[in-house]
Structure 1
Amino acid sequence: MSAKTLMRQFLSENKWAYAISILAIIISNFINVQFPHILGRFTNALEAHRLNLRDVLVYAILLFVVGVVYVQFYAIGQYRNGKLGREFEYLLRRRLFAHWEVLSTEYFRHKSIGDLLNHAMNDIRQVREALSGGLNILTNAVFLLLATLIMTFTTVSMKLTVVSMIPLLFIPLFIVWFGPQIRTSSRKVQEALSDMSDLTEESLSSIRLIKATANEDVETERFRAKVDHIVHQQLTLFRRSATFQAFIPTMSSISFAIALLYGGYLTLSHQIQLGAFVAFTLYIGQLVQPLQQIGFVINNFQRASASLTRLQVLLDERPSITDSAHPIELGYVRGEIEVNLPSFQYADGQVPALRNIRFHLMPGQTLGIVGRTGSGKTTLVNLLPRIFDPPAGTIFLDGHDIRDIRLEALRQSIAYVPQDGFLFSTSVGENISFGDANASREQIEEAARAAQVYDDIASFPDGFDTVIGERGVTLSGGQRQRTAIARAFLKSSPILILDDSLSAVDMKTEKRIIEELEKVRQHKTTLIIAHRLSAVRHADLILVLENGEIVERGTHDELIRLDGVYAKTYHMQQQGEALRA
């Protein structure tokens, strides 16, 4: 559902709530315009010497009552509209986050986190302010203007009102001409803020590298350039907004001067009473106020329109990876995997990332995938859970083309440990149970033991309740990887993918994890990417990739006898381990 459709639906569902709040504001405006009328009558009575102390008290009480009733009705309308605006903001933020969750990985390869956060913060705030505060002010302005005109026509002078309103008629023409320029400037400001958010997120994420290389000044200068650009765009917006806002008071001042000149003439010539003239000068002030408010609201609406357009573009995005028209519902998953992939190329790639990849894993077997950085290992395992979509008829799970399997069911059958061992900013226990929210503490601890991280966690101040920092920054690289492996062990899916997930642990710990892996993963299929060949030597099949192609395949012993790339790498690593020992 698009942002505009969501707004229309929200307005439709809450039309009666909006009607009540708008009605309250309208009533408050028609009460408000009684002030000048009462003061006008008071002036006439005072001029005619018809007042005594009791009459003065009556007028004072009447003005007090009018003021109290006005405030009550206006407060009701303001509060209800503000509450509805916050509810829409909440709804839109939830809708936006849910939309991000269903978009495919390919989309996030081309979008920065800073820009997306700017959508969630600034753009939605602009729309909410227009929907709540802007609607309040617009309703108040329109009906205050209408009520004031009715009162001036009926209680003062139609001629005086029409003549005084002539300068104010130029305001709508100015709004139509100048409004789009404000909208364009507002869009550029939002884009500049997104760029700054991108740089901030990037710099804070790489703060260790920046400090280690003494590049603080470089990053500060990059940030200064972004801020300078924001200031330039904001000053352009402020200049246009100031011009917009200044034009309305200028026309209002001219209108007020005409009212004094012509109204004074009508009073001196006894065509209107002094009280009517006094009331009209107050009404002119009430005419200026809504016109200024209308200018302010249209200014805000122009900004909100730019933000709503940006949100519209985002919510119009559709996931590139979806279920087929008639998806297969998997029952029991055995874990048989067959790959017959002639070629795979990223949408923005120039050459295929994988070529001629063929292998067949029976349920319960382990596949090792090795090769140099950039050889296509991660790309290959990302195709199985459809992180990226393989061509149809190239990858099969239990005899079914994975593109025909319901996406959620496919991914539920796979436990995946990425290279960075990503962790969330919550407790260690909650990170391990991420794939199984109903897991008991005993199950969590057992998974931690299998991943050789239990002792580390037990030494933390609050044990499994210890809250780790963002992305697990308070843990070492090895602790993050082992915690992520424990999470995968706990999920206990038919298929496990370890994407170079043992690179940060020492050889002894790696050996114990592999031993536990063979125990807890009996009769379940496992795919292991590794740079250290000791992590895959137990595998039933090992693939050696180079430039996206399989150059060697076999068991560890078969590849050693082949004396090719795998054997040379293995012997080199063995010598390195011996030297370190």
Structure 2
Amino acid sequence: MKDKKNNKNSIRRFLPYFSPYKHVLSLDLLLAALTTVCELVFPMIFRFLTNTGLNNTKELTINLIGKLGFLYLLLRLVEILAQYYMQNIGHVMGARIEKDMRRDLFEHLQTLDDNFYNHTKVGSIMARITSDLFDITEFSHHCPEEFFIGFIKIVISFIILIRTNIVLTLIIYILIFLMIILSTSFRKKLKRSFMDQRAHIGELNSSIEDSLLGVRVVKSFANEDLEREKFEKDNNEFLNIKKRTYKYMAGFHSVNRIFDALMNLTVIVLGGYLMYKGKIEAGDLVLYVLYVTTLLNTVRRIVEFTEQFQRGITGIERFFEIMDEKPNIKNKENAEILKDPKGDIELKNVSFSYSDSSELVLDNISLKVEAGESVAIVGPSGGGKTTICNLIPRFYDVTGGAILIDGKDVRDLDLKSLRENIGMVQQDVYLFSGTVYENIEYGKPGSSKKEIEEAAKLAGCYDFIMELEDGFNTNVGQRGIRLSGGQKQRISIARVFLKNPPILILDEATSALDNTSEKIIQKSIEILAQDRTTITIAHRLSTIRNASKIIVLTEDGIVESGSHNYLMNKNGVYRKLYDMGNSSIDTMEYLL
């Protein structure tokens, strides 16, 4: 009962996608009705021909046979043309609905925040965007057609047959009713199985994606056998789910076969007996044979379509599962557009914990960064440095307190305008599959070639780009795999140069660079940081000596604050970190 209610709810929510194509759908169903009528007329032509030949031989003329043949030829021609339209335009309608749903799903995914992606595997999302939506395409086209055609055939056949012989017709339709009832008993099992199948293919995709993207790590640890074992386990589990699916499907088809035999047996035995008693004519028995064959094919198509129906419903449910995900980070009503900010940033008693944890990452942190000021945050891993960077552009919202830009709470600002005014270079560099030019242009779409080249020069990556095989047109590969870590880092910095925002957040911006590259980038960053607010997260303390203020952040909060010279003279935590040279994460955790 619950499944039936869920199916109705899913279909109700899906129906609006038909709205732009209601005229196409109406014509499609009209032609479906036309093809059905053409198919149902043939048995009546054959009955008339048979009865005429047996009872009124004189009336069976060449002229009559020619007319019947012409009528049948005309009906077949109409049916072929209608079927062509249904197969062509009808399928295109389904593909357009798929395109609309994929568009809506992609747009919705863009609105979801980090919390969703932290708990959802990319492979699972990809399965919903691709294979699930393909099943919905087939469902959206065939579902209205199949049920509409099936309804017409069953109703019209009943009207014609009941006028021929009540008893035989009722027995056949009782068998059809029982066939449908027993077949639907497999429906719930099939649905659950298809849901499991869809869910697991997402898991399998994620497993494959992880293994292939991390293939260098796999090879470096010689763990190919381990990856094979993990894959084999997931692959076998998927096989077991499919085995269960095919078991239910086999039962499904066995029921069809049994009732197929029962209905044909009824026509042979009871129909033969009625003809023996003179209750029906030979042509009527032929009519029953042909209509029973038509009805069996119709019910079989509907029953077999249940597989596609369940795939489609499952796809629709999984589609709406994501569409029902609500972003935690969204604009307030009448959110204020952030225009030409000076760049004052203030953290007022900020506390933060992730939604799946009660442990506070930040606890009552207060910090003020003046416009144009360069502030560096250092400290051990887990102290909340990167969290602060993520809170300013509202990748997450504070649990307590507030973050202000120019005195305005970031939660009151329009998200797009807020993030347009913040440039970020993160520790985990991500380059899109495409050319170097396209990856830099991403910082400010539509920029001129001159602007992009200038950004590359400022970021210190112009020379190595020109040494690449195709220069700026060199394809970087998926996630920039064809470039070194340092090259990727410098291109990501060039993107921020191109964006030219008033607020900069540099989260380990030079962590992947060698000493030579680091010096080049450091000079570029110093140029970029002039007259704009800059917050830098750094483990290499040598890179932030010139910061106007250095914040030492630990699990206990802000323990020290001041310039490099002030903190060195204080001889506290910062001095210990600095004296350790490179100040790696492990060293900081050891000391603190």
CA contact (8 A) 1:353 1:548 kept: no
1:34 pairs with one of 13, 18, 41: 41
Alignment correspondent of 1:135: 144
Deviations, residues 487-508 of structure 1 (Å, cap 9, x unaligned): 0111000001111020111223
TM-score (norm 1): 0.93
Matched, 1:553 2:561: yes
Q: Which residue of 1 aligns with 2:115?
A: 106
Structure 1 residue 176: Cα displacement: 4.4
Match of 1:374 in 2: 382
**Change in CA separation of 1:192 and 1:88 when aligned onto 2, cut-off 3 Å:** same
In the TM superposition, residue 322 of structure 1 has moved relative to its aligned partner by: 1.7
Deviation at 1:372, TM superposition (A): 2.6
Task: Give % identity.
Answer: 31
Q: 1:69 corresponds to which residue?
A: 78
Distance 1:342-1:103 versus aligned 2 partners, 3 A rule = closer
In structure 1, what is the Cα distance between the partners aligned to 2:172 and 2:507? 77
Secondary structure of 1:573 counterpart: coil
Alignment pair present for 1:229 and 2:237:
yes
- Indicate the residue corresponding to 1:322 in structure 2: 330
Q: Which amino acid in structure 2 is aligned with residue 44 of structure 1?
A: N
The structure 1 residue matched to 2:16, chosen from 1, 4, 9, is 9
> 1:102-131: per-residue Cα shift (whole Å, max 9, x none)?
011111111111111122123222322222
Q: Deviations over 1:131-175 (max 9, x none)?
A: 212332222222222233333334x43333223333222123224
What residue in structure 1 maps to residue 590 of structure 2?
A: none
1:125 to 129, 134, 149: 134
- Distance (whole Å) between structure 1 residues aligned to residue 582 and residue 36 of structure 2: 86
Out of 431, 435, 451, which is 1:443 matched to?
451
Query: 253, 259, 262: which one pairs with 1:251?
Result: 259
- Using the alignment, how far apart are the partners of 1:115 and 1:133 within structure 2? 26
The 1:389–1:169 alpha-carbon spacing in structure 2 relative to 1, beyond 3 Å, is same
1:52 CA displacement = 5.4
Change in CA separation of 1:508 and 1:105 when aligned onto 2, cut-off 3 Å: same
Indicate the SS of the match to 1:338.
strand
Q: What residue number does 2:316 align with?
A: 308
- Offset at residue 8 of structure 1 (A): 2.4
Letter of the 2:80 counterpart: V
Kindly indicate whether the alpha-carbon contact (under 8 Å) linking 1:420 and 1:501 is maintained by their aligned counterparts in 2.
no
> How do 1:106-255 residues align onto structure 2 when only pairs under 5 Å count?
106-154=115-163, 156-255=164-263
| Counterpart amino acid of residue 26 in structure 2 | A
Query: Whole-Å Cα distance in 2 between the matches of residues 389 and 376 of structure 1?
Result: 14
Contact 1:376–1:548 (8 Å) recurs in 2:
no
Specify the alignment match of 2:410 in structure 1. 402
Task: Decide whether the 8 Å contact of 1:33 with 1:151 is kept in 2.
Answer: no
Match of 1:349 in 2: 357
Structure 1 164/8 Cα, relative in aligned 2: closer, same or farther at 3 Å? closer
After superposition, what is the alpha-carbon deviation per residue over 1:438-487, rounded to whole angstroms, capped at 9, x for unaligned? 21111101111111111111112221111211111111000010000000
Q: Distance in 2 between matches of 1:337 and 1:574?
A: 29
Displacement, 1:362?
1.4
Contact 2:486–2:517 (8 Å) recurs in 1: no
Aligned residues of 1:448 and 1:454 also touching (Cα < 8 A) = yes
Q: Which residue is equivalent to 1:95?
A: 104
Q: Could you tell me how far 1:285 is from its partner in structure 2?
A: 0.3
Question: Residue 577 of structure 2 contacts residue 583 of structure 2 at CA under 8 Å; is this kept in 1?
Answer: no
Shift of 1:339: 1.7
Alpha-carbon separation, structure 1, partners of 2:359 and 2:270: 80
Structural mapping, 1:285-296, within 5 Å = 285-296=293-304
Partners of 1:548 and 1:356 in 2: CA distance: 10
- Aligned equivalents of 1:158, 1:356: Cα separation in 2: 84
CA distance in 1, matches of 2:114, 2:10: 22
Instruction: Name the amino acid aligned to 2:43.
Output: P
Which residue in 2 is equivalent to 1:419?
Answer: 427
**Which runs of no fewer than 5 residues in structure 1 stay unpaired?**
577-581
1:239 Cα deviation from its structure 2 partner:
1.2
Q: Could you give the per-residue CA deviations for residues 411-431 of structure 1, whole angstroms, max 9, x where no partner exists?
A: 111011111221100111111
Residues 105 and 373 from structure 1, CA distance in 2 versus in 1: closer, same or farther, beyond 3 angstroms?
same
Maintained 8 Å contact 2:459/2:493: yes
Any unmatched runs of 5+ in structure 2? 1-8, 585-592
Code of the residue aligned with 2:42 in structure 1: it is: F
Q: Is the 2:369–2:375 Cα contact (8 Å) retained in structure 1?
A: yes
SS in structure 2 of the partner of residue 321 of structure 1:
coil
Of the three residues 549, 560, 578, the one matched with 1:541 is: 549
Contact 1:196 1:226 in 2 (8 A): yes
SS of corresponding position for 1:14: helix
CA contact (8 A) 2:539 2:583 kept: no
Q: Which residue number in structure 1 is paired with residue 92 of structure 2? A: 83
Normalized against structure 2, the TM-score is what? 0.92
> What is the Cα deviation at residue 36 of structure 1?
1.6
Partner of 1:43: 50
3-state SS of 2:339 partner: coil
Query: Matches of 1:432 and 1:84 in 2, distance apart?
Result: 38
Inter-CA distance 548–172: structure 2 relative to 1 (3 Å threshold):
farther
2:119 partner SS: coil
User: Aligned pair in 2 of structure 1 residues 400, 5: CA closer, same or farther (>3 Å)?
Assistant: farther
3-state secondary structure, aligned to 1:394: strand
Residue 387 of structure 1 is matched in structure 2 by: 395
Distance 1:426 1:285 in 2: 57
**Aligned letter for 1:381?**
C
Please point out which of 494, 498, 509 is paired with 1:501: 509
- What SS does the aligned partner of 2:15 have? helix
- Offset of residue 66 of structure 1: 2.1
- Describe the shift of the 1:202–1:60 C-alpha distance in structure 2 as closer, same or farther (beyond 3 A): same
- Tell me how far apart the structure 2 counterparts of residues 122 and 474 of structure 1 sit (CA, whole Å): 30
How far has the Cα of 1:57 moved from its partner? 4.5
1:575–1:251 distance in 2 versus 1, CA, 3 Å: closer
Instruction: Give CA-to-partner distance per residue, 1:177-231, whole Å, 9 cap, x none.
Output: 3322221222122122122122112212211111111111111111111111111
Contact 1:3 1:315 in 2 (8 A): no
- How far, CA to CA, are the matches of 1:548 and 1:97 in structure 2? 41
- The alpha-carbon distance between structure 1 residues 566 and 191, as it changes in their structure 2 partners (threshold 3 A), is same
User: For 1:335, which of 330, 343, 347 is the aligned residue?
Assistant: 343
- Aligned residues: CA RMSD: 2.2
- State how many pairs are aligned: 574
> What is the distance in 2 between the residues matched to 1:126 and 1:491?
41
Q: Which moved more, 1:126-135 or 1:486-495?
A: 126-135
Secondary structure of 2:329's match? Answer: coil
What SS does the aligned partner of 1:390 have? coil
Q: Deviation digits for residues 23-63 of structure 1, max 9, x if unmatched?
A: 11011101111112222223234445444555544444333
| Shift in alpha-carbon separation, 1:410–1:491, aligned structure 2, 3 A | same
> What is the CA deviation profile of residues 283-306 of structure 1, one whole-angstrom value per residue up to 9, with x for unaligned ones?
110010111112122333233323
**3-state secondary structure, aligned to 1:357:** strand
Question: SS at the partner of 2:581?
Answer: helix
Q: 1:90 to 1:541 in 2, by over 3 A?
A: same
3-state SS, counterpart of residue 349 of structure 1: coil
